[in-house]
């Protein structure tokens, strides 16, 4: 199929960006979206023009490295799918596709389609873990976990940290990312001792980098792992509880 791409090009974090248009003829329908970009890049290099910079690594939808806005939608047109697993059979001959970086104040553009997502690491660093030193763990089966609880914790733990939720949110909020990690740990028995301290620390770090959640729900629709916004409710509940516990204590 023959496509026309409008791609955001930006030389560096301080430079102004612009859209450039590229013709992409003869794309095989079985190529993935990123392979289509590879083909375009090979042609750019042959023409002596710098290839489009975009992030990707595993190309199996699990590492969370890739992520661009495709026609205004994070990861493109296929629900529950990272852009590396979108294949071109979802497009038709003659389509025009607009490709931009994730747009959010918390994710500054570095170059072309690459953004800086290190703020996510700051949120995890603030408390997204269970404090257990190597060697200090009890025998694994001493901690039984109700299967439904384990499954729900897993649903939250499936987050790949790609940032699509932030890019989709009109407020640039990171509630779904934060809620997913908080819920994964807060639901499990192992996560109880640090439950409230974790919630507060992670929420407050999140707020330093990202906007506020006003329940648009766009994040859930954009999430390649289809993580439910129910986890945001759980996050809010634990945060409220944590704050009121603090007041009673003082």
Partner 1 sequence: MSTVAQPLLDAKIPAGDLAEKWDNHRFNMRLVNPANKRRFDIIVVGTGLAGASAAASLGELGYNVTAFTFHDSPRRAHSIAAQGGVNAAKNYRNDGDSIFRMFHDTIKGGDYRSREANVYRLAQVSLEIIDQAVAQGVPFAREYGGLLDNRSFGGAQVSRTFYARGQTGQQLLLGAYQALMRQVDAGTVTLYPKTEMLELVVVDGHARGIVVRDLDTGAISSHSAHAVVLATGGYASAYFLSTMAKQSNATAIWRAHRKGALFANPCFTQIHPTCIPQSGDYQSKLTLMSESLRNDGRIWVPKDPDEARPPDQIPEEDRDYYLERMYPAFGNLAPRDISSRAAKRMVDAGHGVGPRKNGVYLDFSEAMQRLGRGRITERYGNLFQMYEKITAENPYAVPMRIYPAPHYAMGGLWVDYNLMTTIPGLYALGEANFSDHGANRLGASALMQGLADGYFVLPYTIGDYLAPFLGERPPPTDHEAFKTAEREVDDRVRGLLAVGGTRSVDTFHRELGRILWDYCGMARNAEGLAKARSEIQTLRDEYHNDVRVLGENETINQSLEKAGRVADFFEVAELMTVDALDREESCGGHFREEHQTEDGEALRDDERFAHVSAWGFTGVGKDPELVKEPLEFEFVTPTTRSYK
- Residues pairing with 22 in the sheet: 5
Q: Write 187-192 long-range contacts (CB < 8 A, 24+).
A: 187/149, 187/152, 187/153, 187/156, 187/234, 188/145, 188/149, 188/150, 188/153, 189/143, 189/145, 190/130, 190/132, 190/143, 191/130
- In angstroms and rounded to an integer, the radius of gyration of the C-alpha atoms of the chain is 20
Task: Provide, rounded to whole angstroms, the least separation between the CB of residue 238 and partner 1.
Answer: 15
* Position among 2, 19, 96, 129 found at the interface with partner 1 (CB under 8 A): 129
Site for partner 1 in 189-228 (CB under 8 A): 190-191
**Axis-axis angle for helices 175-187, 195-209 (nearest 10):** 170
The residue within the footprint of partner 1, chosen from 67, 128, 172, 211 (CB under 8 A), is 128
Measuring CA to CA, which residue among 86, 108, 100 is closest to residue 6? 100
- 31-50 residues near partner 1, rule: CB under 8 A: 31-32, 34-35, 38-39, 42, 45-46, 48-50
Shortest distance in whole angstroms from residue 84 CB to partner 1: 9
Among 19, 25, 146, 212, binds partner 1 (CB under 8 A): 146
Beta carbon nearer to partner 1, 105 or 146: 146
**β-sheet bridge partners, residue 21:** 6
Between 12 and 246, CB nearer to partner 1: 12
Q: Which is nearer to partner 1, 136 or 249 (CB)?
A: 136
Rounded to a whole number of angstroms, the minimum distance from the CB of residue 114 to partner 1 is 6
Adjacent-strand bridge partners of 115:
109
Stretch (H or E) spanning 120: helix 119-125
Taking CB under 8 A as the criterion, the residue among 179, 185, 202, 229 binding partner 1 is 185
Residue from 133, 170, 248, 249 touching partner 1 (CB under 8 A): that is 133
Q: Using CB under 8 A, which of 76, 81, 168, 218 touches partner 1?
A: 81
* Least gap, CB of 246 to partner 1 (angstroms): 21
Q: What is the DSSP letter of 132?
A: -
* 158: contact with partner 1 by CB under 8 A: yes
CA distances from 108 to 52, 111, 208 (A): 17, 9, 14
Inter-residue contact 102 to 66 (CB < 8 Å): no
Counting contacts by CB under 8 A, is residue 1 touching partner 1?
no
114 forms part of the interface with partner 1 (CB under 8 A): yes
Q: Does 67 bind partner 1 (CB under 8 A)?
A: no
């Amino acid at each position: 199929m023959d496509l026309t791409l409008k791609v955001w090009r930006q030389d560096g974090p301080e430079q102004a960006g612009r859209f450039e248009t590229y013709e992409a003829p003869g794309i095989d329908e079985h190529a993935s979206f990123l392979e289509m970009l590879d083909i375009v890049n090979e042609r750019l290099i042959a023409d002596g023009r710098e290839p489009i910079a975009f992030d990707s690594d595993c190309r199996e939808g699990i590492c969370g490295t890739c992520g661009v806005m495709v026609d205004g939608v994070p990861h493109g047109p296929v629900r529950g799918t990272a852009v590396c697993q979108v294949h071109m059979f979802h497009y038709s001959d003659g389509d025009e596709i607009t490709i931009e970086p994730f747009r959010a104040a918390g994710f500054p553009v570095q170059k072309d389609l690459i953004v800086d997502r290190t703020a996510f690491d700051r949120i995890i660093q603030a408390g997204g873990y269970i404090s257990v030193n190597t060697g200090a763990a009890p025998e694994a089966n001493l901690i039984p976990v109700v299967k439904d609880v384990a499954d729900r914790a897993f649903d939250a733990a499936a987050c790949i940290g790609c940032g699509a939720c932030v890019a989709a949110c009109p407020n640039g909020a990171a509630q779904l990312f934060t809620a997913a990690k908080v819920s994964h740990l807060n639901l499990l028995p192992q996560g109880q001792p640090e439950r409230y301290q974790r919630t507060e620390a992670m929420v407050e770090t999140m707020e330093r980098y990202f906007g506020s959640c006003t329940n648009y729900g766009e994040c859930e629709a954009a999430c390649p792992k289809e993580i439910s916004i129910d986890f945001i409710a759980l996050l809010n509940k634990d945060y409220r509880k944590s704050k009121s516990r603090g007041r009673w204590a003082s």
